Structure 1
Amino acid sequence: MDGSIKILHIKSLEMEVPKDIPHRVSLVVTETVDAGLFGEGIIESLIHAWHHLLLPPRRGENEFQEQSATGRVIPAGATVFGMAVECLEIRRHHRLCVSEVGSLSMAAAGELRSPVSCSSEPDDSMEPYTTERLSRLPGGYKPLTEPFTALNIDFNNVQELEGLSSRPVQKVHLPVTQEGQLDALAVWFQLHLDEESSLSTGPQEDTCWEQAIYPVHSTKGFLLKPQDELIVEVSCRDAYLRLCSVAVLRDGHEIRLDECLDSQNFGNATSNPNPEAELCSALASLQTDQNQSKGFSMLECSEMALLNNLDYHQSFCSALSKLISQLKVKWQNQERESSIQSDSSDLLYVLDVSEGFSLLSLIAASHGHVKAYSSVEKNKQQEVLKRLAHSNNIPEQHLEFWLNHVEDEQGMLKRPSREKLWSAIILDCVETCGLIRQKLMEKASLARCLLEEGGRIFPEKIVVHGMLVESDTLLLESAVQGQEPTLGFNIAPFINQFTVPVHVFLDFSTLECKHLSECVELFVLDLMEATANYTNREVKVQATCAGRITAIPFWYQIYLDREISVSTLNQNSHWKQAAAVLQQPLEVQAGDWVRLAVKLNKSTISISAHIENAPRPMEQ
């Protein structure tokens, strides 16, 4: 088709006639739509196209009849749908769900929320929505309302496109159909390609699009009930589609959701059998909250999920407590042996170099006789830690922000003072996406040199686990398969040059796959051992049933010490999993032995698989 297609390496907004194309065109085809429909700038680009690139649109009753000298856009338009949902997985990524973390009371933290928040007034610091594939969310979701139509848009009507941002805010009343906590509004759309063909991005559809998620932050403990009406505001003030849950109508009373509601006063279906008393209590609560500060601190979605992970923090709390107790006993024994009393002001030094917001320094300092150094950088987040330290009776001088005294990240791992070494250094070892952090082993090597005798790196060891699976989903999402999905064009040899061999941000618990083996240990990273093998390992795995090995998903058991560990496969974890996808599927029978060559290069894990040539036992 060379000569029939002209490729312009330029944004359409910068295209001109006749400079870039000789004359106006009769058809524009575009797929500049994201999960929230407008997030890739389709409105702006189509307005420009109608004014500068397209022939005038069709007019009159016979709109779809073939006419000369008319312009048209595919897709012709879209309908946007929404639905209120309860979903623990969404909730724990966007607001604080716990009152205590690692023995620390969180009461003084103030409001903590993710940067995904929608309001009718645009705010550059916030994203209006995030995206999720609802059908793959761990734990699933519960619809609280029927789907509703949020918006219709005609891409072949330039006046409608230009008027989108000035449309008045639309209030939609949604009858609540099931009882549950309001965690988010889920949004999808139907693209009308022309008068006959359409595409849906709905939760049950198998498409490349996820659904747009508008999380709700201010309804902790608030239960929607059947007979309630949820009031949602829909607007497009800045060419982003914005949906905001603003109020609930219950028994004729409107209750605003932009005020934090006390779960003891309102919304608990079983706590108060008298709905009128419950409602009055809620209204009284709102009156007292109106004058409180609306300030909040923003955490990334993964940081919110980490903060909500009680097992993770309790494990660190226990491991730190054990180490601190051991070092205190060691000091006391040294004092008895030397008959020299140590300075009572002498402290254990703990350094937390976790990425982003972390409470681990504060958890260490809460054990007493510890000075903890935090790598939290943002001023507002440092203020949260200071408030928590004060409210949990941790002396102010026992918490210090290390990066305030360090010019660059390379200087993070150094002595706390000329005289001291670290009692513990906490390293952040695994990225949220499921991969080992870059330069982890180099950091561990440096950290070992900075520990006092008996000191420890947390974690001390990471064990990589994996499994043989057959998963068409991973194949289809990792590389072009054959010619059918692309209308017979042989694009695979070209596109698959850019295939990434490791699939990240994977939810193994919801992945459609067939398990072909038991879980096996693939690799061990010992952060406390200087002579360990950190480059390659061969592992033999026996297939438990017949199938095609298409991938090896892997995850980590993170050992804080020999007895205490946390798993990145835990459903409450903030971590996702990853999978090495084989270039060619490998056919196996039950009982076959598969040899995996596992390599770690610059923190990147690669896995290749081969069937062992061992003879099979003869059938009796």
Structure 2
Amino acid sequence: LAFESIENGTEFYRNTPFVEKHRRPFVRTMAFSDHGPVNSMLDLGCGTAIWSMVAAQAGVERIHACDSNVVMYHIAKETLKRNGFQDRVQVTHAHSSELDLPEPVDLVVCELMDAGFYGEGIIETLYNCFDKSLVNNSVDRQCLIPKGAVIYGALVECEEIRRSHVIEGKEKFSLVANLNFEVRSNCASFMPPASEEVFQAVEPYDSVMMRKVKGGYRMLSETFVVDQIDLTDVGQLKARLDGQEQLIKVRCIQSGKLDAIVCWFRAELTDGIYIDTGPENCTSWEQAIFPVSLDLQSSNNWCELDQKVLISCQVKGNELRCNVLKAAEEYRYQIEIIPTSKLSMLNDLALFRSYCNSFNKLTNNTSLALFDMSHNPLITIAACKLTNMDVWCPADAPPDWNTFFAKVVACNAEQQCRIHFLGRDSAANGGMVKFERLLCMPVETSGVLEPDVLETILYNRLTLEIDHVLPEQLRVLAMLVSSEELSEYCRVLDDTRTLGFLIADQVNAFQSDHFEDVEPSTLFKTELTERFELFRLDLQQSLDPENYNLPAMCKQTVTKQVQIKRNGKLNAVFYWFQGDCPSIDCLLFDTSDENGHFRLAGCLVEPRPVSCGDMLTIRGTLERSSIFITVE
């Protein structure tokens, strides 16, 4: 959670105009009014303490700041010291409920807002302030920033959201299994809930920057108000802590498949100055996504023009939940909850078909077996069905995934008795099983190798005496690019982004030069080189059990000469993977394929201008299934 808070801080500073706009209400509110100046302030969830420093510059005499995150507390203290405000601001490591002040303050600043507005605890925090009399609201003067907010919503069609949260019908599974349960992501919306246990297990919402979503989206409805709140009204705060619900009829403005309810907010900082996080605004804010998961067997989530859709909007404590209500519709199946990254993997039909194609080309031999490290139950069942071999799977995944995996296998009775899990049966460990091939899918959805996956392949090949691997080789391809957006994604570029305060170095100390989970199709970038091969890993290379040095498939360093094809400012290297089997002429996967579910990963490098025709030396290091790239 500490590092997640730092990442959120980085996102906040991506948009310089937004930060500058945010400063104006502080200065305006702190200025003289009919009731005199603001003499004291409380900065709740202070983060880097930037607004405490703005207040100090504006002449506020007594400034208190607090953050419940211990890492952010220490960053705030160091930032105040570096900027010379350590004697002007008193910082406390505490939650608002633990805070004691010598006297009420004139102004409370609370920027605890997430994509769904309520998720970072702004309601509970401000209620604690009023309950403990931390703020002086006895005079007719603004005592809170922000003073209120309106949360908006809309119905959208979006294929990318759909394939990350819902198995779209059973036809994809029917290739290998007839499931007797529904599959949903761990942040899908259930109404009516399959069970209270399932309802509590899922996240209220996901968050996505809709203007950057892969493949785009379509607005299916008019914008509607989900909630409106005056944050200075204690009664309204209490009502939302206790929980309230409203039902809203929403009119569809065009027909389409209803995939999600998208929510955003417009927060009023002071009179006439707002933060608007709507999907059409070019800011760093994401929107809250409530995937719609109706019974796909009956409704298919289709909406017609002018159709009225009934929405339930609930606020309780720190949670906002939105659901679509369908009259007389009930779940007829058990619900299984899996992570969004796994659900995207299961929905990747191209990946599944390429593995099936390779299985059809393998020699059938019922006396041999496959050792499957793919962690994909569809691929496992297909391997058993198409090769006529027994399949052994390691039970090394998280327990919830192992349970789901076994349930999918159990739905396919014909293959169930021939799919085994290591640890439940000692035959494989005892050498009674002869394995023909090791099967793997070594790349995560985010675009990086699974942790220690190459070392695990090596270990299993040695201990189980396996010579053949599918894929046979793993190619790592790369490209040099120029992308300021990518730099902003990973770090605070400079102190101009933070109103001139010395903050960037403090935040960037916790950032990595390595990035992952980037959607290249919507990233603003300039390709400075052609794609080039950085590594070629032979997963079937000959192994000597007596040689204790790691083979090249696990550890190596390479240098490549790469020519620049256009002028630009180099600041990043993308890389991706291809897994293929030359012996049977099969390409299993290419993680740069826009039709697949994979994202891209890479490394930031020291920015430098480059010209067409320049030759650069690229050094790549592979170690512990991690890739490091430098440009010399």
TM category (shorter chain) comes to 0.7 to 0.9
> Which of residues 566, 573, 577 is equivalent to 1:552?
573
> Which of residues 575, 590, 606 is equivalent to 2:612?
590
Please tell me whether residue 151 in structure 1 is matched to residue 151 in structure 2.
no
Please tell me whether residue 447 in structure 1 is matched to residue 460 in structure 2.
yes
Moved more, 77-86 or 120-129: 120-129
Distance 2:122 2:167 in 1: 35
Moved more, 439-448 or 530-539: 530-539
Alpha-carbon spacing, 1:98–1:553, altered in 2? closer, same or farther (3 Å): farther
> Which of residues 471, 493, 513 is equivalent to 1:481?
493
Alpha-carbon spacing, 1:107–1:150, altered in 2? closer, same or farther (3 Å): same
Distance 2:120 2:440 in 1: 37
Unaligned runs of 5+ in 1: 65-71, 248-254, 261-292, 329-345, 407-413, 611-620
Larger radius of gyration: 1
Distance 2:392 2:93 in 1: 50
Partner of 2:175: 104
Q: Answer yes or no: is the 8 Å Cα contact 1:423–1:451 preserved in 2.
A: no
Q: Answer yes or no: is the 8 Å Cα contact 2:180–2:334 preserved in 1.
A: no
AA of the residue aligned to 2:417:
Q
Partner of 1:371: 390
- 1:31-46 mapped onto 2 (5 Å cutoff): 31-46=111-126
What SS is found at the alignment partner of 1:164?
helix
AA of the residue aligned to 1:440:
V
- 1:301-312 mapped onto 2 (5 Å cutoff): 301-312=340-351
- 1:125-164 mapped onto 2 (5 Å cutoff): 125-164=201-240
Partner of 1:523: 535
Distance 2:593 2:169 in 1: 18
Partner of 1:409: none
Deviation at 1:85, TM superposition (A): 0.4
Partner of 2:367: 347
Distance 2:371 2:172 in 1: 19
Partner of 2:23: none
Partner of 2:94: 10
Deviations 1:68-94 (A, max 9, x none): xxxx22111111011100010000111
AA of the residue aligned to 1:352:
D
> Which of residues 361, 370, 378 is equivalent to 1:359?
378
Q: Answer yes or no: is the 8 Å Cα contact 1:350–1:422 preserved in 2.
A: yes
> Which of residues 128, 145, 158 is equivalent to 1:48?
128
Distance 2:203 2:505 in 1: 37
> Which of residues 462, 471, 479 is equivalent to 1:467?
479
AA of the residue aligned to 1:143:
M
What SS is found at the alignment partner of 1:315?
helix
Alpha-carbon spacing, 1:374–1:156, altered in 2? closer, same or farther (3 Å): same
AA of the residue aligned to 2:386:
H
Alpha-carbon spacing, 1:74–1:110, altered in 2? closer, same or farther (3 Å): same
AA of the residue aligned to 1:12:
S
- 1:96-495 mapped onto 2 (5 Å cutoff): 96-97=167-168, 99-101=170-172, 104-119=175-190, 123-166=199-242, 168-218=244-294, 220=296, 221-247=300-326, 255=327, 258-259=329-330, 293-325=332-364, 328=365, 347-355=367-375, 358-367=377-386, 369-375=388-394, 377-378=399-400, 380-382=403-405, 384-390=407-413, 393-394=414-415, 396-404=416-424, 415-450=428-463, 455-495=467-507
Distance 1:424 1:491 in 2: 53
> Which of residues 509, 525, 547 is equivalent to 1:513?
525
Distance 1:353 1:117 in 2: 28
Deviation at 1:191, TM superposition (A): 1.6
Deviation at 1:26, TM superposition (A): 2.1
What SS is found at the alignment partner of 1:241?
strand
Q: Answer yes or no: is the 8 Å Cα contact 1:464–1:521 preserved in 2.
A: yes
Distance 2:439 2:266 in 1: 48
Please tell me whether residue 93 in structure 1 is matched to residue 164 in structure 2.
yes
AA of the residue aligned to 2:167:
L
AA of the residue aligned to 1:602:
R
Distance 1:119 1:24 in 2: 43
Deviations 1:282-323 (A, max 9, x none): xxxxxxxxxxx4421122111111111111111112223323
Alpha-carbon spacing, 1:604–1:48, altered in 2? closer, same or farther (3 Å): same
Distance 2:602 2:179 in 1: 40
Distance 1:119 1:440 in 2: 35
Q: Answer yes or no: is the 8 Å Cα contact 1:421–1:450 preserved in 2.
A: no
Alpha-carbon spacing, 1:102–1:596, altered in 2? closer, same or farther (3 Å): farther
Q: Answer yes or no: is the 8 Å Cα contact 1:102–1:310 preserved in 2.
A: no
Deviation at 1:420, TM superposition (A): 2.3
AA of the residue aligned to 1:75:
P
Q: Answer yes or no: is the 8 Å Cα contact 1:166–1:237 preserved in 2.
A: yes
Deviation at 1:512, TM superposition (A): 0.7
Deviation at 1:165, TM superposition (A): 4.1
AA of the residue aligned to 2:319:
Y
Please tell me whether residue 600 in structure 1 is matched to residue 622 in structure 2.
yes
Alpha-carbon spacing, 1:585–1:317, altered in 2? closer, same or farther (3 Å): same
Alpha-carbon spacing, 1:239–1:489, altered in 2? closer, same or farther (3 Å): closer
Alpha-carbon spacing, 1:99–1:146, altered in 2? closer, same or farther (3 Å): same
Q: Answer yes or no: is the 8 Å Cα contact 1:83–1:147 preserved in 2.
A: yes
TM-score by length of 2: 0.78
Please tell me whether residue 29 in structure 1 is matched to residue 109 in structure 2.
yes
Unaligned runs of 5+ in 2: 1-84, 544-550
Deviation at 1:435, TM superposition (A): 1.5
What SS is found at the alignment partner of 2:236?
helix
Deviations 1:373-431 (A, max 9, x none): 234644752453244312xx33x42122335458xxxxxxx935432232222234122
Distance 1:426 1:456 in 2: 9
Distance 1:171 1:318 in 2: 49
Distance 1:481 1:572 in 2: 32
Q: Answer yes or no: is the 8 Å Cα contact 1:351–1:374 preserved in 2.
A: yes
> Which of residues 51, 73, 79 is equivalent to 2:144?
73
Q: Answer yes or no: is the 8 Å Cα contact 2:455–2:624 preserved in 1.
A: no
Alpha-carbon spacing, 1:27–1:238, altered in 2? closer, same or farther (3 Å): closer
Q: Answer yes or no: is the 8 Å Cα contact 1:74–1:193 preserved in 2.
A: yes
Alpha-carbon spacing, 1:56–1:542, altered in 2? closer, same or farther (3 Å): same
| Bigger relative contact order, structure 1 or 2 (CA pairs below 8 A, ≥6 apart) | 2
Distance 1:6 1:138 in 2: 45
What SS is found at the alignment partner of 1:306?
helix
Alpha-carbon spacing, 1:580–1:479, altered in 2? closer, same or farther (3 Å): same
Alpha-carbon spacing, 1:558–1:217, altered in 2? closer, same or farther (3 Å): same
Q: Answer yes or no: is the 8 Å Cα contact 1:138–1:509 preserved in 2.
A: yes
Q: Answer yes or no: is the 8 Å Cα contact 1:538–1:595 preserved in 2.
A: yes
Deviation at 1:23, TM superposition (A): 2.5
Distance 2:294 2:130 in 1: 42
Distance 1:97 1:456 in 2: 35
Q: Answer yes or no: is the 8 Å Cα contact 1:91–1:183 preserved in 2.
A: yes
Q: Answer yes or no: is the 8 Å Cα contact 2:124–2:317 preserved in 1.
A: no
Identity %: 28
What SS is found at the alignment partner of 1:587?
strand
Distance 2:423 2:88 in 1: 58
Deviations 1:96-118 (A, max 9, x none): 12544488344334211112133
Partner of 1:538: 559
What SS is found at the alignment partner of 2:262?
strand
Distance 2:406 2:629 in 1: 44
